[in-house]
Amino acid sequence: MLPNLKLALDIRAFESRLLDLFGQGAIRGTVHTCLGQEMTPSLLSSHLGFEDLLFGTHRGHGFFLALTGDFQGLAREILGRLQGVSRGLGGSQHLHEQQVFTNGVQGGLVPVAAGAAAGADGDAIVVAVIGDGTLGQGVLYETLNIAELFGIPLLLVLEDNGIAQSTPQQQTLAGDIRARFEAFAWTYFHASDQNLVDFDSVVRRTVDHVRATRSPSVLHVTTRRLGPHSKGDDNRA
């Protein structure tokens, strides 16, 4: 079996079930699934240790499940149960268990992750996840600057699915993504999740680089979002 494929399939089944439950009225509020993007958290989790921290996004179920394995706790949380990982108060977006934190504010946890990385002990690293829609947030570039100046072990995982909510990337993003990070002297890695063996190799090399050099790097992942942004708000064919 390909690397961590079963975990990715388990996440896919979980996310699909959430959309079913939302359609039945069992889930209130909103729910952002990672359908189509499951391999990034599945592979990344195998290269992180218990001492590492991960700060995720509104689309954070996959990373939460891959690092904690707590499918029941997450399901209870999204259903608003007291036994959920955030006591039923965080819902789909605001999760915390073990070494995983997620939040719905666009780019809001990136500077928090940088602060945590600045205080990381030993060979621990901190991962911050963003989508390509976050490339328009000013706080991201402030963090890129200070992280390089202070030389902190921060790994930024950019899930580039080419669409921000319902707006195609070509309508909002000018210039070259790689050049944005290299302008701040960040080490840049790129991979597509289409070839899982190559993808796993790049993930491993990226994590090893951040851990060994104690300096910031970005892993730019070309992927696709198969489901809607949230529930059914999608104008694609």
Alpha helices in the chain (DSSP H): 5-23, 39-45, 61-68, 71-78, 110-118, 138-150, 177-182, 196-213
Each residue's pLDDT tens digit in the chain (237 positions)?
566 889 999 999 999 999 888 888 888 888 888 888 999 999 999 999 999 999 999 889 999 999 999 999 999 999 989 998 898 888 888 999 889 999 989 889 999 999 999 999 999 999 999 988 888 889 999 999 999 999 999 999 999 986 676 666 666 777 898 999 999 999 999 999 998 889 999 999 999 999 999 999 999 999 888 877 777 666 777
Main-chain phi, psi angles of 169, to 5 degrees? -60, -35
Judge if pTM exceeds 0.85: yes
DSSP string, 161-228: -SEETTEEGGGT--S-HHHHHHTTT-EEEEEETTSHHHHHHHHHHHHHHHHHH-S-EEEEEE----S-
